[in-house]
């Protein structure tokens, strides 16, 4: 990918002329524009002479993007991507707090948990209706029935819903009920699924694969962006290492690294990253200090009865206490939790 960096006084006509020329050569153009800059990202398999672009009116310079991810890179878009989720923004000063059970288990469970999470300060309700379980004999989720209960919980609390979609064919159904589409760690490189959510109109929470490099993860975000969906959040949920005491190893490095490489919001999932409720608060608070744009935390009113991930789920009281502590840390770091 090359970037055509436009001069401050470039007109829309100048921009259109550059786009027309590169499209004529067989490239695709993506525009990144705000008050401070206009950058045209030029991708694809076209053929042309970049010197001809450099001399067009309004063009300041033409530079290659050094990373393999292009639209996801800070070079293409220097400022943070910020977009609304319900009545909050993600990617700006405020942190987005998502909480709820691992799985939707029944109607009263999700409604009771949603009310408790909202009271404790959550902005978004999580809950899986389609569950990627390592055992075919484990609870697989309630499917569409679970989506209906989530929608009811949203009606009662006003909290937007984030829930996992596991296959391309189910994207339209999940979009009918959910506000945010979660791509699970196991599906990070399911390219047909990335294509389908890239065509959808909903924001996407893209979890990092458990054995994935940061670059591979950003390339998966690139798939979604390149299909037209710009509202992508990246989620660090722990990676596999030799350490067995915790379920995964929380790669806190991913937070500052992703912030440097990409303009996309980065969310921390301390629940899957640690796998044990007694470590969740420490990992959550570290994420806030490290610069995360939000968190997704598993909360269950009765963790001992949970059908999935009870061991890593916080009770609502512990979650409420954690939100208070995270708020103080956010403020100390120039951020806020509303
Ligand atoms: C989940 O959010 O419950 C989940 C299955 O997460 P992950 O894909 O990160 O394992
Ligand atoms: Mn879970």
What is 83-332's CATH number? 3.20.20.70
Tokens of 71: 């639209």
CB-count exposure of residue 20 (10 Å: 0-12, 13-18, 19+): exposed
**CA–CA gap between residue 290 and residue 332 (Å, rounded):** 12
In the chain, which residue ranges form alpha helices assigned H by DSSP? Answer: 12-24, 50-54, 107-120, 144-157, 171-177, 191-199, 214-226, 254-261, 270-274, 277-290, 316-332
Best residue among 100, 185, 248 to mutate for probing ligand 1, ranked by most atoms within 8 Å of CB: 185
Long-range contacts of 12-18 (CB under 8 A, 24+ apart): 14/56, 14/57, 14/58, 14/59, 15/40, 15/58, 17/56, 17/57, 17/58, 18/53, 18/56, 18/58, 18/59
User: Whose CA is closest to atom 4 on ligand 1?
Assistant: 184
Contact indicator for 118, 157 with CB cutoff of 8 Å: yes
**CA–CA gap between residue 24 and residue 13 (Å, rounded):** 16
Ligand 1 atom closest to the CA of 308, numbered from 1: 3
Cα 8 to ligand 2 centroid, rounded to whole Å = 47
Closest ligand to 183 CA?
1
pLDDT band of 205, cuts 50, 70, 90: very high
Cα 181 to ligand 1 centroid, rounded to whole Å = 12
**CA–CA gap between residue 165 and residue 182 (Å, rounded):** 6
Closest ligand to 267 CA?
1
Please name the residue that has the structure tokens 């699924």. Answer: 193
pLDDT band of 261, cuts 50, 70, 90: very high
Mean pLDDT to the nearest integer, 189-195: 98
Ligand 1 pocket, residues with Cβ under 6 angstroms: 102, 128, 132, 184-186, 207, 237, 272
Residue spans of the domains in the chain: they are 2-64, 83-332
**CA–CA gap between residue 249 and residue 172 (Å, rounded):** 34
Query: CA angle at residue 292 from 287 to 296, to 5 degrees?
Result: 75
Instruction: Indicate whether 302 pLDDT > 90.
Output: yes
Mean pLDDT to the nearest integer, 292-316: 98
Report, at the CATH architecture level, how domain 2-64 is classified.
Answer: 2-Layer Sandwich (3.30)
Can you give the pLDDT at residue 36? 87
- Half-sphere exposure (CA, 13 Å, Cβ side) for 168? 11
Instruction: Indicate whether 167 pLDDT > 90.
Output: yes
């Amino acid at each position: 990918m090359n970037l055509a960096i436009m001069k401050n006084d470039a007109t829309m006509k100048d921009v259109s002329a550059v786009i027309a020329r590169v499209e004529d050569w067989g490239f695709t153009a993506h525009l990144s524009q705000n008050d401070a800059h206009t950058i045209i990202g030029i991708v694809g398999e076209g053929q042309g002479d970049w010197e001809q672009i450099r001399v067009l009116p309004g063009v300041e310079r033409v530079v290659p993007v050094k990373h393999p991810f292009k639209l996801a890179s800070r070079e293409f878009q220097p400022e943070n991507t910020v977009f609304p989720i319900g009545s909050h923004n993600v990617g700006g000063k405020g942190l987005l707090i998502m909480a709820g059970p691992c799985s939707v288990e029944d109607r009263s469970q999700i409604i009771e948990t949603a009310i408790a999470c909202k009271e404790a300060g959550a902005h978004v309700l999580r809950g899986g209706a389609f569950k990627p379980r390592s055992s075919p004999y484990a609870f697989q989720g309630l499917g569409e029935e679970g989506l209906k209960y989530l929608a009811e919980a949203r009606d009662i609390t006003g909290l937007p819903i984030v829930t996992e979609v596991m296959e391309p064919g189910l994207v339209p159904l999940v979009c009918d009920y959910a506000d945010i589409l979660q791509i699970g760690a196991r599906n990070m490189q399911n390219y047909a699924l990335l294509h389908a959510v890239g065509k959808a109109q909903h924001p996407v929470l893209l979890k990092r694969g458990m054995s994935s490099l940061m670059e591979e993860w950003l390339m998966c975000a690139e798939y979604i962006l390149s299909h037209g969906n710009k509202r992508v959040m990246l989620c660090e949920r722990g990676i596999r290492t030799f350490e067995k005491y915790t379920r995964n190893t929380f790669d806190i490095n991913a937070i500052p690294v992703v912030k440097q490489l990409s303009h996309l919001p980065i969310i921390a999932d301390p629940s899957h990253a640690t796998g044990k409720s007694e470590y969740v608060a420490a990992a959550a608070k570290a994420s806030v200090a490290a610069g995360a744009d939000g968190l997704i935390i598993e909360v269950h009113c009765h963790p001992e009865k949970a059908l999935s991930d009870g061991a890593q789920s916080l009770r609502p009281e512990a979650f409420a206490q954690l939100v208070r502590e995270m708020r103080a840390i956010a403020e100390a770091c120039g951020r806020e939790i509303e």
